[in-house]
Copies of this chain bind each other. A is one copy, B any other.
Amino acid sequence: MAVPDLTQQQLDDIYAFAVDLGRRAGQLLMESIEKRMDGEEQQTVEEKENAVDIVTQTDEDVEIFIKTAIQNKYPSHKFLGEESYAKGQSRDYLIDEHPTWCIDPLDGTVNFTHIFPMFCVSLGFIVNHRPLIGVIYAPFQDQLFSSCPNRGAWLNEKRRLPLLRNPVPPMPSNAPSKCIFSCEWGKDRRDIPDGNMQRKIESFVNMAADAGGRGGKGGMVHGMRSLGSATLDLAYTAMGSFDIWWEGGCWEWDVAAGIAILLEAGGLVTTANPPEDVDTAPIEDVRLGSRLYLAIRPAGPSATETGRESQERTVREVWRRVRHLEYTRPGA
């Protein structure tokens, strides 16, 4: 059942609310950091799945703050937050076609506990499974990424994304060469033969190695970047700073806002896992909840290709070099 479309005025109102809420939630994160820096507060960290999967009291407090604000303003909207989900029993994909907020109060929790600036609040607004509005706020460096349908994607509501847009550059003709490749080591560190960690590493090395290396799979990317925040990886891809982001294992609250922003900026998101025929398989929009993501930055036309063609060519070149990852998911 599709729900009726929202009007532009309704979307604009939700967007303005989300931007304000993102800034206020980010301010709460900074207040917590400042108390720790001033020695007024110690941090309590709780482990979830393993020693690198953690939650802090701040995560939970900020999620309640966000949830309360949304429920007061939009009582008919559904709400899905990382911390409340994590406490539930189900690992199903719970989003349906109704207007739903999918939020992460604190993405980059490990960064936050170490006071490395790459942490953020992430607010995604989804209708009919499509992320429509996104707000990502990284308060330590005061970077707010946001988007609304037909209004564009923005950095700090001042600079339109992607940042280079006069004109928007095409993907490099020999991509993934000349591309910045963003990837994360993630939380699954089990050293199992042909397990996810080993497949990720094999994929990373293929992307990094010089063009003659790895039996012709060498991608010789311009740079390999790991920030420790899937949400900010996507934000920087929307900005045009990262050309390619490839990831398995993250959840819908990690990516909902980022996908909205990336798509509005002109980027592409499909599945991380290569299909059987990488040369001809259709390049489909990613299914939210699939836990497997490959994002390409916004791209403009060249003399010989449309922007979309250059993005699709890049997707196929990545698929040639990466392994299948196994992150199953009920209900997605």
Known: A141-B143, A164-B37, A226-B224. A243 touches B114 (CB 8 A): yes
6 more A-B residue pairs beyond the given contacts A185-B224, A225-B226, with a C-beta to C-beta distance below 8 A: A52-B223, A111-B223, A115-B239, A116-B236, A141-B143, A225-B228
24 example contacts (A-B, Cβ-Cβ < 8 A) are as follows A36-B164, A37-B165, A37-B166, A39-B165, A39-B166, A39-B167, A50-B210, A51-B220, A52-B221, A52-B223, A114-B242, A115-B163, A115-B164, A116-B180, A116-B225, A117-B141, A141-B143, A184-B224, A189-B210, A190-B209, A190-B210, A190-B213, A197-B209, A201-B205
Residues of B near A209 (CB, < 8 A) are 189-191, 197
Closest residue of chain B to A221 (Cβ to Cβ) is: B52
- A100 at the B interface (CB under 8 A): no
**A110, A143, A191, A208, most chain B CB atoms within 10 A:** A191
Q: How many residues of A contact B (CB 8 A)?
A: 55
Q: Mark A113-134, 1 if CB is under 8 A from B, else 0.
A: 0111100000000000000000
Residues in A227-267 with C-beta less than 8 Å from chain B:
227-228, 236, 239-243
Instruction: Compute how far the CA of A232 lies from the CA of B159 in the bound complex, rounded to whole angstroms.
Output: 25
The interface of chain A, by Cβ under 8 A from chain B, is: 36-39, 50-52, 110-111, 114-117, 141-143, 159, 163-167, 177-178, 180, 184-185, 189-191, 197, 201, 205, 208-210, 212-214, 218, 220-228, 236, 239-243
A191 in complex: contacting residue of B115, B177, B184, B213, CB < 8 Å: B213
Stoichiometry, as copies per complex, reads 2
By DSSP majority rule, is chain A's interface helix, strand, loop, or mixed?
A: loop
Instruction: Compute how far the CA of A201 lies from the CA of B224 in the bound complex, rounded to whole angstroms.
Output: 12
A220 in complex: contacting residue of B52, B116, B205, B208, CB < 8 Å: B52
Residues of B near A37 (CB, < 8 A) are 159, 163-166
User: In the complex, what's the smallest C-beta–C-beta distance from A216 to chain B, in angstroms?
Assistant: 11
Residues of B near A185 (CB, < 8 A) are 208, 223-224
| B225-A212 in contact (CB<8A) | no
Instruction: Compute how far the CA of A218 lies from the CA of B188 in the bound complex, rounded to whole angstroms.
Output: 13
User: In the complex, what's the smallest C-beta–C-beta distance from A112 to chain B, in angstroms?
Assistant: 10
Residues of B near A184 (CB, < 8 A) are 224
User: In the complex, what's the smallest C-beta–C-beta distance from A208 to chain B, in angstroms?
Assistant: 5
Residues of B near A167 (CB, < 8 A) are 39
Instruction: Compute how far the CA of A167 lies from the CA of B39 in the bound complex, rounded to whole angstroms.
Output: 7
Instruction: Compute how far the CA of A51 lies from the CA of B180 in the bound complex, rounded to whole angstroms.
Output: 12
Residues of B near A178 (CB, < 8 A) are 51
